[in-house]
Amino acid sequence: MRFRRILVALWLCSFTVVAWVSAQDDRVGFPKDYHKTFKLYHALNNEERKSLREILINSTGAKVEPGKEFPYGTVIVMLGYSVKMKDGQPVKDDKGLYVKEELTRVDVMRKEKGFGKIYGDQQSGEWEYGAYRPNGDIIAGDNSRCAGCHMDASGSDYVFSAEQLFKK
């Protein structure tokens, strides 16, 4: 019985250690004032997940010129929202976008000199990725999946929505 308690205690402690290490290794960082200081430049429906995504960029990244790489210090935020449903289907507004309800996650990518090496063969330029709850708590997970996916956008400095930034 005592051995079982020790195992359970060690198991519970392992979650604390993993969470602490993850927080210490978070080089991306949750941008606390993104809703006040970042520019919204794109919104899209995620039909597979029945959610809405909004993409914002900080002032450093917003200065990029078409066809150029984003400058160091660029931070891009993708907000994920649950959406209003009716008869099992998302409700759309007059622009065809899903009507958002609750913010469910904040995904962040940051570009800094020397970033990205931690992803090894999944490295997508000098970007690193983080996933957060709306309150800023880290969503634990393997962010190399983000890096690997963004490799498909290598022609636009690994940013899928770069083209949208230049639309007026």
Q: What's the pLDDT tens digit per position in 11-62?
A: 443 343 333 334 447 999 999 999 999 999 999 999 999 999 999 999 999 9
For residues 98 and 94, give the distance between their C-alpha atoms in angstroms, rounded to a whole number: 9
98 - beta bridge partners?
92
Phi, psi of 7 (to 5 degrees): -60, -45
- Predicted pLDDT of residue 145: 85
For residues 82 and 50, give the distance between their C-alpha atoms in angstroms, rounded to a whole number: 7
- Predicted pLDDT of residue 69: 96
Closest CA to 50 of 8, 92, 78, 110: 92
* pLDDT greater than 90 at residue 140: no
> What is the pairing mode between strands 100-111 and 75-83?
antiparallel
- Amino acid identity for residue 61 in this structure: G
pLDDT in tens, 75-110: 999 999 999 999 999 999 999 999 999 999 999 999
Beta-carbon contacts of residue 153 (< 8 Å; ≥ 6 apart): 124, 159, 160, 162
- Predicted pLDDT of residue 22: 44
pLDDT in tens, 146-166: 888 898 999 899 999 999 998
Q: Which residues of 106-123 are buried (b: 16+ CB within 10 A; e: fewer)?
A: bbbbbbeeebbeebeebb
pLDDT tier, 168 (very low <50, low <70, confident <90, very high otherwise):
low
CA distances from 48 to 44, 45, 52, 81, 129 (A): 12, 9, 11, 13, 22
- Predicted pLDDT of residue 16: 36
